[in-house]
Each structure stands twice: as structure tokens, then as C-alpha cells.
């Protein structure tokens, strides 16, 4: 009977993961993707990074990664799906390494963390299945996961240096949170053990240098000039409102489960984990810094990595504190819900992809003066720019991408 339960949980987890990965193969370039595709086709790697560094987007490492992926997608658009598939497998492996050792369920717990996180994301389209945001936010987040995992172990310097460059050269909020976490680790070791971890110090300095390269770019100055002037009172209000938005969204489920587990096992010694400190520190830095920079509410993609840490900690707690029956039921519940929900999302995405393919083919129809471009707000694929009636620049990029002069008219294909 126990073997049957293991097989059932493993089977459901794998099915949910395969469906999750399949959605990525329905992806079509959208919004900022089209801009970076256009510039990649015009410029080489160095020129593109330099142009963005001086013009607007100083996240130099993310731009460089995007360049290589876009070059692959110019061969075949299926490489967008391959990108999402590979990054998903890498993310699961990184999450798995956070789980407690000595159990055969670590990979399944990692899939459960991914399912719980994605199911509770307020806007998965702009946080996962959007190539630009994925490269700018989630990839640096994955690099941060790697660094935090290996600080207390025998770290390999070459992968760690690459990860530090990606963290510093990606989302600024993630980079600042990384600097805070690594600094806290160095201070803790020095104060308690009188030990200075030179490898961690080198990683800290490389992350700082990578962030500094982004910060001194001309694009950073232009971007700051375009944003509202800093106002402390307004920043506090916007930060508070961002927290309010978070706890009144689907993310409340994540927070509720996390708090419930801590309340149930408050006296358990193994709950004194650095992951709790990382959660609080990361959430505080990302919320305050982002709201201070934007002088507005924080976009969901800045919260997404914090919520991922939350789900990692949820399964770390279940692994340590709750019996195997509770572990299995929590995991089974998530992957079962995931199968049904993701199947629905995949069906919508496939339908949307088929309609997009038909729209692209219609450019050769001489009887049509315009192309009806399908959109579907229910799909988990980013397509927001088509909702903006005055965004002629993005639509012009789409015309260029599919090689047509015909007018593009968004048509809602919600079913």
C-alpha cells in the first residue's frame, strides 16, 4: 500500500510537471520581447549590451543572456519553449537542494514547491511565461538560490562567480537582497566564530561590482530621471499598499500555510533556519527598494521570488516537522490541483497558439487588409501590450517580426 502511494504521488508530480513545461512551448514573443528581438537582429552582443547600458536597461547580464536565447529562437521559435523547459528543470534542482537530506522525496517536494508557488502567483503570465521578465527577475533569483545554498558548504568558485555576476547584473532588488543576505552571513560567522569566509567575501564583492556596473550606466540615470522624485512618506504608503495587495491576493494562501506550520511547530528546534531570515530580509528589501524607485506599488514580479522562498520553506518545514503522511497529502493535494488547473491553462494556451499561427499565415491573404491577432486574458502567457490601444510602437515591432505591413487588430478569444 505504501509503495502504491509513492508511485501515485510520483506519477501525479511528473504529470503536473510535464503539463507545466508544455505551456512554455505555446509561447509567442510579446511586449519587450519584440524590442529585444529587433535589436538583437540589428546589433551584435557587445553593441546590444552597450546600447541598453547607455540608453535604458542597465541589467547588462540579463540582456546578454537574452541575446543568446533570441539567437536560438531566430532558428526556430520552439527554442522559447526549450528555454522555459530547461530553466524549469534547473529551478526544480535548485529547490531540491534546499530540502533536508536523507529522504527520497526531495525532488517531489521540489515539484510541490513549484506547484504551490505557481498556483498562488497573482499574475503568472508576467512572472513566469514572459521571456523578458523571466530573464530579468527569475534567472537572477535562481542564481541567488544557488549562492545561498552553497555559502555554507564547499562552494565551487567558477559557478559561484557566474551566479554572482547574474545576480548583480539582473534585477536590482534581487541584487540588493543578495548583498544583504551574504553580508548577514559574513557578520554572523565573524561575530560568533571569529571566522572570515574569504570565498563568501569574494562572492559579495563580485555581486557588488556587477551591480555597480549596472548602476553607473547612462541608462540608469535616464531611467531615474523618468521616474518620480523620491518621497519618503509616499514610499512608506506605497510599500504598505503593496503588502496589502499581496495579502488580499491568491498569495494569501501561501502566507496562511506558512504561518500555520510555524504556529504548529513553534518550539521545534530545527525551525530556527536561515531561510526564515532570508524570507524576511528579502521581502523587506525588495518591497522598500522597489517602491522607493518606482514611487508606486510594487509589480507582482518583484514579489514572485519572495513567494517562491515561502514555498521552499513550507516544504522544508513539512520535511522536518510533520509526519510522512502529512507530507504526502500536502504534496498530493498540490499536484492534483496542479494537474487540473494546468491542464485547463494548457488547453487555453494551445488554442491561443493555434489561433496565433493562423493569424501569422493570414498575412499572405491578399483579401485581408488587417490581421486579427488573438488575445486571451485567461491564458498564462504574457500578451499585455495588445490591450493598450495607443501602443503603436509595440504593434509596429510585431508587424516587423511577422514581416507584414497589414494593420494588426487585437481580437479577444476568451472562451
For residue 410, the cross-strand partners are 373
Q: In angstroms, what CA-CA distances link 211 with 59, 76, 146, 204, 256?
A: 8, 33, 18, 11, 34
Are 227 and 295 spatial neighbours (Cβ–Cβ below 8 Å)? yes
Where does residue 54 rank: exposed (0-12), middle (13-18), buried (19+ CB within 10 A)? middle
- Cell numbers of 179, please? 548583498
Distance CA 217, CA 66 (A): 19
From the CB of residue 270, how many other CB atoms can be counted at a distance below 10 Å?
12
pLDDT in tens, the chain (415 residues): 445 677 888 888 899 999 999 999 999 988 789 899 999 999 999 999 999 999 888 999 999 999 999 998 887 889 999 999 999 999 999 998 887 665 667 888 899 899 999 998 887 777 889 899 899 989 999 999 899 888 776 778 899 999 999 999 998 888 988 898 899 889 988 888 888 888 899 999 999 999 999 988 888 778 777 777 778 888 888 888 888 887 788 888 888 888 777 776 665 545 445 566 676 777 777 777 777 777 777 777 777 888 888 888 888 776 654 445 666 777 888 888 999 999 999 999 999 999 999 999 988 888 888 888 888 878 888 776 565 555 677 788 888 888 888 888 888 776 5
Are 337 and 114 spatial neighbours (Cβ–Cβ below 8 Å)? no
Nearest C-alpha neighbor of 142 from the set 115, 114, 121, 120: 114
Q: In this predicted structure, what is the pLDDT of residue 322?
A: 47
Distance CA 215, CA 59 (A): 9
Distance CA 314, CA 330 (A): 10
Q: In this predicted structure, what is the pLDDT of residue 304?
A: 82
Where does residue 251 rank: exposed (0-12), middle (13-18), buried (19+ CB within 10 A)? buried
- Cell numbers of 309, please? 522562498
Distance CA 58, CA 70 (A): 18
Q: In this predicted structure, what is the pLDDT of residue 70?
A: 93
pLDDT one-digit tens code per residue, 113-164: 999 999 988 877 778 898 998 999 899 999 998 998 887 767 788 999 999 9
Are 59 and 53 spatial neighbours (Cβ–Cβ below 8 Å)? no
Classified as helix, coil or strand, 371 is strand
Mean pLDDT of the chain: 83
Nearest C-alpha neighbor of 84 from the set 117, 115, 122, 129: 129
Are 51 and 160 spatial neighbours (Cβ–Cβ below 8 Å)? no
Classified as helix, coil or strand, 196 is coil
Q: In this predicted structure, what is the pLDDT of residue 385?
A: 58
Q: What is the DSSP letter of 369?
A: S
Q: What is the DSSP letter of 299?
A: P
How remote is the C-alpha of 368 from its chain's centroid?
39
Nearest C-alpha neighbor of 115 from the set 104, 100, 128: 128
pLDDT one-digit tens code per residue, 8-28: 888 888 999 999 999 999 999
Distance CA 98, CA 318 (A): 13
Q: Are strands 407-412 and 370-375 parallel, antiparallel or unpaired?
A: parallel
Are 251 and 243 spatial neighbours (Cβ–Cβ below 8 Å)? no
As a residue count, the chain comes to: 415
Amino acid at each position: 500500500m505504501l509503495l502504491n502511494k509513492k508511485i501515485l504521488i510520483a506519477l501525479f508530480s511528473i504529470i503536473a510537471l510535464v503539463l507545466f513545461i508544455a505551456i512554455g512551448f505555446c509561447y509567442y514573443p510579446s511586449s519587450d520581447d519584440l524590442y529585444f528581438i529587433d535589436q538583437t537582429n540589428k546589433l551584435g552582443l557587445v553593441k546590444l549590451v552597450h546600447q541598453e547600458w547607455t540608453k535604458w536597461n542597465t541589467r547588462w547580464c540579463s540582456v546578454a543572456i537574452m541575446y543568446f536565447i533570441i539567437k536560438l529562437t531566430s532558428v526556430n521559435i520552439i527554442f522559447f519553449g526549450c528555454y522555459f523547459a530547461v530553466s524549469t528543470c534547473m529551478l526544480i534542482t535548485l529547490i531540491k537542494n534546499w530540502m533536508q537530506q536523507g529522504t527520497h522525496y526531495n525532488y517531489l517536494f521540489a515539484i510541490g514547491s513549484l506547484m504551490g508557488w505557481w498556483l498562488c502567483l497573482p499574475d503568472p503570465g508576467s512572472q513566469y511565461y514572459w521571456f523578458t521578465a523571466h530573464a530579468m527577475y527569475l534567472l537572477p533569483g535562481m542564481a541567488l538560490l544557488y549562492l545561498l545554498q552553497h555559502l555554507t558548504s564547499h562552494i565551487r568558485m567558477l559557478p559561484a562567480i557566474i551566479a554572482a555576476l547574474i545576480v548583480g547584473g539582473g534585477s536590482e532588488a534581487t541584487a540588493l537582497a543578495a548583498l544583504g543576505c551574504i553580508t548577514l552571513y559574513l557578520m554572523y560567522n565573524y561575530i560568533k566564530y571569529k571566522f572570515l569566509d574569504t570565498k563568501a567575501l569574494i562572492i559579495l564583492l563580485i555581486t557588488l561590482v556587477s551591480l555597480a556596473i549596472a548602476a553607473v550606466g547612462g541608462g540608469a540615470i535616464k531611467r531615474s530621471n523618468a521616474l518620480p522624485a523620491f518621497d519618503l512618506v509616499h514610499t512608506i504608503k506605497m510599500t504598505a499598499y503593496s503588502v496589502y495587495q499581496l495579502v488580499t491576493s491568491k498569495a494569501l494562501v501561501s502566507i496562511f500555510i506558512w504561518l500555520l506550520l510555524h504556529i504548529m511547530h513553534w518550539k521545534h528546534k530545527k525551525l530556527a533556519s536561515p531561510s526564515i531570515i532570508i524570507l524576511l530580509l528579502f521581502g523587506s528589501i525588495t518591497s522598500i527598494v522597489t517602491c522607493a524607485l518606482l514611487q508606486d506599488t510594487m509589480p507582482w514580479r518583484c514579489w514572485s521570488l519572495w513567494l517562491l522562498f515561502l514555498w521552499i520553506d513550507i516544504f522544508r518545514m513539512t520535511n522536518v516537522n510533520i509526519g510522512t503522511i502529512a507530507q504526502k497529502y500536502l504534496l498530493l493535494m498540490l499536484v492534483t490541483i496542479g494537474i487540473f488547473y494546468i491542464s485547463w491553462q494548457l488547453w487555453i494556451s494551445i488554442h491561443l497558439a493555434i489561433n496565433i499561427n493562423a493569424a501569422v499565415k493570414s498575412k499572405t491573404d491578399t483579401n485581408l487588409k488587417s490581421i486579427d491577432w488573438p488575445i486571451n486574458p485567461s491564458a498564462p502567457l504574457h500578451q499585455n501590450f495588445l490591450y493598450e490601444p495607443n501602443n503603436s510602437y509595440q504593434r509596429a515591432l510585431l508587424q516587423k517580426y511577422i514581416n507584414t505591413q497589414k494593420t494588426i487588430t487585437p481580437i479577444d478569444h476568451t472562451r
